[in-house]
């Protein structure tokens, strides 16, 4: 078995999409998280910081936001403003998941 590893080297692992929720304070620090600990913390922090940045930029454009919904092909990020911090929900999207037409965008 070791022989095969030497011959082909190790293949890059496929990054699993996160699922769960995180709470971030106004300084961009994760306060609570239900996302699997196998998911890199640095990426979770990147999600939180970018969301906080979007809330701040909207405020500075005089368009304060209460909710933000980012739809990627395979992931949906819903964030609620929380007195400077944010509560973020992360849902992976399946290939055939219909476009949401219900209560939220």
Partner 1 sequence: MAAAIDATEMETHHKILILDDDADWLDLCRELLAPLASKPEIRTVSSGARALALLESEPFRLLVCDLKMPRMDGLQVLAIVRRRFPQLRTVVLSGLEDEEFRSRAYALGVDLFWLKADMQQNTQMFLDCLESLLGREVDGGFRGIQSKSLMDIIQMECLSRSSTVLRISRGPLTAKMWIQDGEVIDAETEGTRGEAAVRRILAWKSGTFESLPAEPNRERTIAKAINTLLLESAQTIDESANVSEPESMEQDVHRKTVWKLGLLMREGAEFVVSVPLDGQGVPEALGTQSTAQLADWTRQVAEVTKRLGERIEAGPLSHVAATGLDRQLLIFPSERKSFLVGWPPGDAAGEILEKSKRLVASWDS
Site for partner 1, rule CB under 8 A: 15, 17-18, 43, 46-47, 50, 53-54, 57-58, 61-75, 95-96, 98-105
Least Å from the CB of residue 99 to partner 1: 5
Task: Check if the beta carbon of residue 23 is closer than 8 Å to that of residue 84.
Answer: no
Smaller CB distance to partner 1: residue 25 or 50? 50
* Residues sharing a CB contact under 8 Å with residue 34, sequence separation 6 or more, in sequence order: 20, 21, 22
Smaller CB distance to partner 1: residue 15 or 32? 15
d(CA 17, CA 11): 18
Least Å from the CB of residue 52 to partner 1: 11
Least Å from the CB of residue 4 to partner 1: 27
Task: Check if the beta carbon of residue 38 is closer than 8 Å to that of residue 16.
Answer: yes
Query: Cα-Cα-Cα-Cα dihedral of 20, 29, 84, 78, to 10°?
Result: -20
Smaller CB distance to partner 1: residue 4 or 73? 73
d(CA 88, CA 22): 5
Smaller CB distance to partner 1: residue 36 or 66? 66
Least Å from the CB of residue 21 to partner 1: 16
């Amino acid at each position: 078995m070791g022989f095969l590893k030497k011959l082909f080297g190790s293949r890059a692992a496929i990054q699993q999409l996160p699922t769960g929720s995180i709470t971030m304070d106004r300084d961009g620090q994760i306060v609570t998280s239900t996302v699997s600990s196998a998911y890199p913390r640095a990426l979770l922090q990147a999600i939180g910081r970018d969301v906080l940045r979007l809330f701040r930029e909207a405020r500075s454009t005089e368009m304060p936001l209460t909710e933000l919904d980012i739809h990627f092909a395979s992931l949906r990020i819903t964030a609620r403003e929380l007195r400077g911090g944010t509560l973020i929900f992360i849902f992976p999207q399946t290939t055939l998941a219909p476009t949401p037409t219900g209560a939220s965008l």
